[in-house]
Amino acid sequence: MAREILVLRKLDHPNVLKLEGLVTSRMSCSLYLVFEYMVHDLAGLSASQGVKFTEPQVKCFMKQLLSGLEHCHSRGVLHRDIKGSNLLIDNEGILKIADFGLATFYNPNKKQCMTSRVVTLWYRPPELLLGATFYGVGIDLWSAGCILAELLAGKPIMPGRTE
C-alpha cells in the first residue's frame, strides 16, 4: 500500500482518481485510503442491460483514458492493471483511472526487471503472457486497446481462464 500512496501523490490529472486523504484506525491498526466519489465503473456500465456505447462516447472515453495514461507515463508511472472495473465514471461522463495497487515507477531510459504477473488476464499483452520482465508503457497501451475493442464490440474480446 505504501507504493500505491507514493504513486498517487505523484499524480494530479483530471483523468486520474485523486487521493483525498488517509485515515487510520487504532482499534484495527488499519490504514484507509480516501478517494473522491465516483458513481460508476466502465465494466459495470458496459454490462448493464441495454447499454451500447455510441462511437462518439467511445471516442470520448478513450481520449480521457489515453490522456490519463499519458500523464502517468510522463511521471514515470506504469499502471499495470488497466481494465473496465478500474476506470471510474461520474454522471457527467468524466473518466478517471483508479486502483494503482499494481502500479510501479519506471524509467524509460533504464532497463529494470519487473514481474510479468501483472495486468488482469483478459487485458494482458502478449509479452507478459510469454513471461517478459523488461517492459514499458506498451503494457498499459495494449490494455487500453483491449478496452477500445471491448467498448466497440460490446463484450470482452479475449476472455479466458488460462494464459
Catalytic residues: 81
Please report the DSSP string for 95-119 in residue order: EEE---TT-EE--TTS-----S--S
- Exposure b/e, 137-152, CB count within 10 A at least 16 = b: bebbebbbebbbebbe
3-state SS class at 65: helix
Residue 81: exposure state from Cβ atoms within 10 A (0-12, 13-18, ≥19): buried
